[in-house]
Structure 1
Amino acid sequence: MALTDTFIKKAKHSGKPAGDKHTDGGAMYLHVKAEGKYWRMAYRMHGKQKTLYIGVYPAVSLAQAREVRKRAKEQLAQGIDPSTAKREDKQASTSAAQSTFEAVALAWLKATAHKRSEATAARIERRLQIDVFPEIGRLPIANIKPPTMRAMMDKVAARGVADTAQRVANACELVFRYAVSRGLTEKDATVGLRDTLPKTKKKHHAAITEPLALGALLRAMHDYNGSPCTVAALKLSPMLLVRPGELRHMEWTELDFDSAEWRIPGEKMKMRADHIVPLSTQTIELLRSLQPLTGAGQYVFSSLRTGARPMSENTVNAALRGMGYTKEVQTAHGFRATARTIMDEVLSERVDLIEHQLAHTVKDANGRAYNRTAHLPARQQMMQRWADYLDRLRVGAEVIPLAVKMA
């Protein structure tokens, strides 16, 4: 006879080691054991006797167990093993839970961590946490369609910050590419998305490029009263041609004073390639003055709060503002443009050497990119000439105005 809810509730273990089986018809039965009540279904597949484990009572009710039995009978009629189908469904469910957009995005960040700095990775993750995960983070990435991405990006773009919208879209695109490459989804739901977003205006970093004005700035920097690390970073900013982030992350182990070189590993560089910065005698003198203060730590320009981190990214810019130079006149990053312009137009240095020292891609006559050691002696001499020129500007000697180019 078919089982009833009342019977099932009252059924107790008789004490038999193997338990007690109560059939409900259709080969399904309730297996009552000392530890609980279990739904089972006996069936044969390819001549072998097998058991389908349906679930535990009362989590799985009588009605639910019968629905599973019905589906199992249908699968058997189609030549499908119910146990195998159940296992595959469970695996698919687990996979879906592990393949949400958030899970895939975090996996992508971890797998590609070697391609970016810790600071960059933190900014990307923070951008995803704020703008993306609340909207689509819990959705299986395979189920996300272009309209969903479009709706999310419209919200980001509505804030009116084109740069943020483009960066969020770029991060999502890279996550989808990663998912496609791992077989987690078949299509990239971000295709064409960035093309429809507001375009980011190219930002130029303010820079003084007139020698007399630069001389005045150098004198102000020389008289600036701040912490030793801040003063040194400020003075080195126009001398080294590196980006502010590269300067503040300088480590003592990267410096070789005997060879007069600073060797920056690729993971710290924007172009992800190793870079060598020749050190002038003035640069080495400045750096050596910091050794008694931060030489025992990791970073040359360590944070005032803790030596475990470099100084703040705003330190040099804050010093410039304190000296009266607004962001419309000079920025820390702008010192690269300052050097690029004056070294070319005033000192007539070779443009390819300047570009190489700026860590821009420079190709040889055969179209191949130069490696990090290309023209190193010539660059060493150029960087010494540049440091000497800055010294002359600071004391007000040998100032050569920019040549006026004829149209």
Structure 2
Amino acid sequence: MRGDADASPGGPGTDGRRRDAPDADRGFDPRARLAEREREGLRRDLTPVETVGARSRIAADPGGDPPTFDGDEQLVFAANDYLGLAGDDRVQQAAADAAREVGTGSGASRLVTGDTPTHRALERDLAAVKGTERALAFSSGYATNVGVISALDPDVVFSDELNHASIIDGCRQTGAESVVYDHCDAADLRAKMRERAEHGPARNRDESWLVLTDSVFSMDGDVAPLPAICDAVEEFGAWLMVDEAHATGLYADGGGIVQRDGLEDRVHVQMGTLSKALGSQGGYVAGSEELIEHLLNAARSFVFSTGLAPPAAGAAREALRIAREDDAHRERLWENVARLRDGLEAAGYQVWGESQILPVVVGDRDDAMVLAERLRDHDVVAPGIRPPTVPEGTSRIRVAPMATHTETGIDRCLAAFREAGRELGLV
């Protein structure tokens, strides 16, 4: 009888298809998509780590089973936990305190019942650091960019060609006309804005223009020329939004490049994350009272998301306090950055950037991926980055030191690069 039932109209037949299935197949084939990634050399796997920190044991992708950590401990030069605060006892205690006092989750959207004193305290501190009237915390940096850009709903966006994917996706959601300017080139931005002003639609005087840029670029490690960008923005009466994801917490008083350059009054929207130097999870936006009130009503990724988990908010607030009051972490980070850069260049590598992110440019994608594997053989974890993440011919190893790396660890990393580079004929 089971066989008869299975063969009835609407039930699956021997070929696995439903008897009433249409002739066309409009479903999805994840296996084929994975195979295509495999052919293009773009398939990736999870690699669980034992702990989040400067060193850890690494396990193979465990699928649904618990990971098994065996083998030697490896040095991790791939994390964005730049100040090493994710493992700081004070930050962990702050997370535990928030979980005990408020709860492990917000329980609802911030606009329903998910708004707590822990969130408000974090936002007050963020606003103080960023020199703005208010700040608003989101569940992730990605949600922040997508929500803020779509809520601003500009007519035209002018975007650096190497901006983060979350900025690009936010632009796509607005339906705005997108104008891409050359990377970190304020002169090209000004030229494109002038072209739009002089030859755009007759209504362009009434258009809203939004200029978007990272401050520190995550793959090239370079820094946007924010003062010159501000000059161009002000010349045409546009607004400027700066993504400080890879800068927040790394400069005086816990600020980013906007604070380093004294541009708080010239940047209309400051965005950042809590998940990098602040060692937690989430994102934030900082700006005027009116801006934040608009966003908490109109940013769909805020309105329709459960509020940031209180332990994450508590941890981020404590990490921000440490970044503001304790210069030692920043000083150690920049010392490690200089030591690594000097050593890599002395070994014969080309190192780009001017920040804590050190892209070791190899060029060929296969060479970069093999170098990453050889570094792993030497117990150093640093990822190979290849197209389409970066342009063709610029494949690289992205090296990200942390304040918690020791001199011995830095020297081990440099030795691994020297030995692996010689083995592959790259240096």
TM range (shorter): under 0.3
Greater RCO structure (CA 8 Å; 6+ sep): 2
Q: Select the structure that is richer in helix.
A: 1
TM-score by structure 2 length? 0.20
TM-score by structure 1 length? 0.21
